[in-house]
Chain A
Amino acid sequence: MTNTIVYKLISNDLKINQTPILLWSLTAVAGIGVAYLIPGLVAANIGFCMLAGAIIGVGIHMLAHTVLFDNLKGTHIFIMSLPLNFKQYTVAKLSVNLVVFYSMWALLSAACMYVTFSRGIFPAGSLPMMLMVLLSILPVYSLMLSMSILTQSIGYTVVTTVTLSFVTSAYLWKIVYLESVGAYVWGNQAVWNNTVFSIMIIQVLTAFIIPVLTVIVQFRKKDVI
């Protein structure tokens, strides 16, 4: 029953949001198409913007519709009247968001890398930096999602999102100016040194730890409503 109800909540959220997920996926595919089929840096940039927009769009849509609006509109009371506890509710909400966002992120990141390096849009030396940029999205999304689940507040989530957009930009600037990273970005060979690996591992770990901490904090909450 425990796993079944979580699975049912996840599939319910997927079913309810299937049209927006599909539309964002189409935008992403169109972005890949633009970047791949139309030659030139301008088209590539437009394509990547569409890709990034699709990833951000699907993430924010899922977060808003499965967590924030659930609370705002009172749907969570309906869900919590079903045979499940708060832990299962939290796990279901985290899972559906992470599954959709990470799947989209993985597919689109792969497409992005393939298009970029098969067409020679950027030199091979920029591959580690691009991977770090793409991986930096994961902890940012985890943090946004966690904030929305923990506070159930649109206000706090928006403040977190805006703050993270500034912090992430500053963080990426900081990375690119690291000697062991920036020196190789425009080179013809990808350099995978300890700094690059450390940064990537920290990003992945942070993206993993934040949802785990969210679950722990949620489990300690007494009142659902």
Chain B
Amino acid sequence: MNAPLALDCKGMNKHYPHFQLQNVDLSIEQGTVMGLVGPNGAGKSTILRIIMGLVVPDSGSVKVLGYSMPGDQVAAKLDIGFIAEDMRLYESETIAFHMEFIKSIFDSWDDEYAYTLLRRFDLKKEQKVKGLSHGQRVKATLLLALARRPQLLVFDEPTTGLDPAARKEVLDEMMNALEDETRSILFSSHNTLDAEQISDYITFIYDGQIIESRDKEEFLDGWRRLRLINMENNPLPDVSNIRDIQTSGKLCTVTVNNYNDTILEQLKSAGLSVDTIERLTLEEIFLSNVKYAKECLS
């Protein structure tokens, strides 16, 4: 990463009675999308809340758009659009009320874009929030975040609970927001499909620790599933990149991270013959990573 950083977190730690965020390093260069993927309770929301200045880390540094958090959060949040799954608008008020409220705070508010989004999302500004469906509520919140034209969008599980059509609309609009090449997005999800669809970089998190963070293409290129035939039941060579081994009779399925030809040679020289080599989907990579992390932790 050589471009200016929209986000730079180093050594973040946060201790709770039953959960600990441990030594989290995370950086996003301007104009890119980072997907933070992990199971429920992995620490995704805690990271995003630390980034927003809502939670103070016990140690470590957090710089967002060049501002130190939480100290400079007032200045930083002028340029950040934040959406969280548990965030709610004022139920008794209309979308227009919220638009006026946000407009009164942000000089960067773009009225034309806001009305474009209203039409695109099929929302009526006179609608009261309590009358909106979950999908409409998410879209209204997204509108309020996008129309202020922030430099960084931080979304915590933005697509959770949405039907496929609404999910696509939200993801499409997130991508449209990147037309300005200096704008960046950090979003969390436990849905790898979302991450695969729109991310440039992906970070896997499990039990408060980042287990892998890479360029999406590198992720997809780096992982392979090898179906091997082990006719003579030879022991598998000690290859550090092997993440999972499943054996069934003479058939042996090996999942490998950071795949390269040397691994193949090592397996062949151990007396195994290669039947097929398959690429993994992001979901399979995620599950494999989580399984490996669980094994390491236990």
- A residues apposed to B, CB below 8 Å: 1-2, 5, 8, 12, 15-16, 73-75, 77-78, 80-85, 88, 222-225
Is B291 close to A, CB under 8 A?
A: no
A83 CA to B148 CA, complexed, in Å = 12
Q: Which single residue of chain A is at the shortest CB-CB distance from B78?
A: A83
Given the contacts A73-B91, A78-B87, A5 and B105 also touching, CB distance less than 8 Å: yes
- Nearest-neighbour CB distance to chain A for B17, whole angstroms, equals 13
Residue interface mask B79-91, A partner, CB < 8 A = 1: 0111110111111
Residue from B91, B93, B105, B141 in contact with A82 in the complex, judged by beta carbons closer than 8 Å: B105
Asked if B87 and A16 sit within 8 Å, CB to CB, the answer is: no
Write 8 A-B pairs (CB below 8 A) sorted by A numbering: A16-B92, A75-B90, A77-B86, A81-B80, A82-B77, A83-B106, A225-B54, A225-B55
- Nearest-neighbour CB distance to chain A for B82, whole angstroms, equals 4
Q: Which residues of A contact B68 (CB under 8 A)?
A: none
Q: How large is the interface on B (under 10, 10 to 19, 20 to 34, 35 or more residues)?
A: 20 to 34
Is B49 close to A, CB under 8 A?
A: yes
Is B73 close to A, CB under 8 A?
A: yes
Q: Which residues of B contact A8 (CB under 8 A)?
A: 101, 104-105
Q: Which residues of B contact A15 (CB under 8 A)?
A: 97
Asked if B56 and A223 sit within 8 Å, CB to CB, the answer is: yes
Q: Which residues of A contact B35 (CB under 8 A)?
A: none
Residue interface mask B82-119, A partner, CB < 8 A = 1: 11101111111100010001101110000000000000
Asked if A74 and B87 sit within 8 Å, CB to CB, the answer is: yes
Residue from B81, B87, B102, B105 in contact with A77 in the complex, judged by beta carbons closer than 8 Å: B87
Q: Which residues of A contact B92 (CB under 8 A)?
A: 16
Q: Which single residue of chain B is at the shortest CB-CB distance from A13?
A: B90
8 nearest A-B pairs in the assembled complex, by CB-CB distance? A74-B88, A81-B82, A222-B56, A83-B77, A77-B87, A224-B54, A223-B55, A83-B78
Given the contacts A8-B105, A16-B90, A75-B89, A2 and B56 also touching, CB distance less than 8 Å: no
A225 CA to B88 CA, complexed, in Å = 14
A223 CA to B58 CA, complexed, in Å = 11
Q: Which residues of A contact B81 (CB under 8 A)?
A: 81
- Nearest-neighbour CB distance to chain B for A217, whole angstroms, equals 16
Asked if B90 and A74 sit within 8 Å, CB to CB, the answer is: no
Given the contacts A1-B74, A8-B104, A8-B105, A81 and B89 also touching, CB distance less than 8 Å: no
Q: Which single residue of chain A is at the shortest CB-CB distance from B76?
A: A83
Asked if B86 and A74 sit within 8 Å, CB to CB, the answer is: yes
A8 CA to B102 CA, complexed, in Å = 10
Is B52 close to A, CB under 8 A?
A: yes
Asked if A78 and B89 sit within 8 Å, CB to CB, the answer is: yes
Asked if B74 and A81 sit within 8 Å, CB to CB, the answer is: no
Give B162-221 interface residues, CB cut-off 8 Å to A: none
